[in-house]
Structure 1
Amino acid sequence: MSLSAKLKELRVKKGESLQQVADAIGISKTHVYDLEKGKSKNPSVDLLKRYSDHFGVAIKTLVGEDLSDDKDDSEFVRMFRQAKDLGQDDKQLLETMIQTMLERQRVKK
């Protein structure tokens, strides 16, 4: 799937208008439209980063991998981005919980 098709698919799945995406990532509505139609070629890494942050997917998803491959990962990325607003104690607790689960998984194998 092309970059332009992926950008449109992400926007539609999120239920956002061209203007909402433009406002969220700091570009014009026309630029979003041109990107989705493949009229604007080779977007900057910075722009891809803003898109990936907005939609909660990895840049590699935008430029080369199928969206379904990243579905579970994107949910975790979204949660971790939200976790930045937690207090330090909660962040430490979250880190400890994850480390404990990973260790338990490692021992099972």
Structure 2
Amino acid sequence: MIGAKIKSLRLKKGYSITRLAEKAKISKSYLSHLEKGLNNNPSLHMLNKIASSLNTTVDELIEAEMSHSVLSSKPLINKEWLYLIEQAIKDGMTKEEFVEFQCYLKFRKRNDHIN
């Protein structure tokens, strides 16, 4: 689903796979696999690079995927969370920093309950 949306937006822009891959700074083979549905689990970082290159948002890219989810009729991630994630990525936050921050919050919650 995500791959089909990317391909649709790419074609609307008149971009070849090569052009979009260069703009997004990703490999052509990665983009091709994504569009063909051979890679169904791209990272948010990669989706952000592709979305930026297509002048769209990650939310728009995954909207079709979320609306066709068989597991739930509700979106898996709401728009506010997607926005926060996009901003963190744009600000340069790494996955490791995010995990470290989560650990810190858990530590604080445990200590708050003790005190």
TM-score (norm 1): 0.56
Equivalent residue, structure 1, for 2:17: 18
Residue 48 in structure 1 maps to residue 47 in structure 2: yes
Runs (5+) with no aligned partner, structure 2: 66-115
Equivalent residue, structure 1, for 2:6: 7
**Equivalent residues in 2 for 1:1-109 (5 A)?**
2-65=1-64
Equivalent residue, structure 2, for 1:94: none
The secondary structure found in structure 1 opposite 2:5 is helix
Aligned partners of 2:37, 2:47: CA distance in 1, in Å?
14
Aligned length: 65
Q: CA deviation at 1:40?
A: 1.1
More helix by share: 1
Equivalent residue, structure 2, for 1:80: none
- C-alpha distance after superposition, 1:33-84 (max 9, x if no partner): 1000000121011111111111111211100159xxxxxxxxxxxxxxxxxx
Aligned partners of 1:25, 1:61: CA distance in 2, in Å?
16
**Aligned-residue RMSD, C-alpha:** 1.5
Aligned partners of 1:4, 1:63: CA distance in 2, in Å?
9
Q: CA deviation at 1:28?
A: 1.1
Q: CA deviation at 1:26?
A: 1.1
Aligned partners of 1:65, 1:33: CA distance in 2, in Å?
19
The secondary structure found in structure 2 opposite 1:22 is helix
Aligned partners of 2:32, 2:11: CA distance in 1, in Å?
13
Q: Which amino acid in structure 1 is aligned with residue 17 of structure 2?
A: L
Once the two structures are aligned, what percentage of the paired residues are identical?
34
Q: CA deviation at 1:27?
A: 1.2
The secondary structure found in structure 1 opposite 2:45 is helix
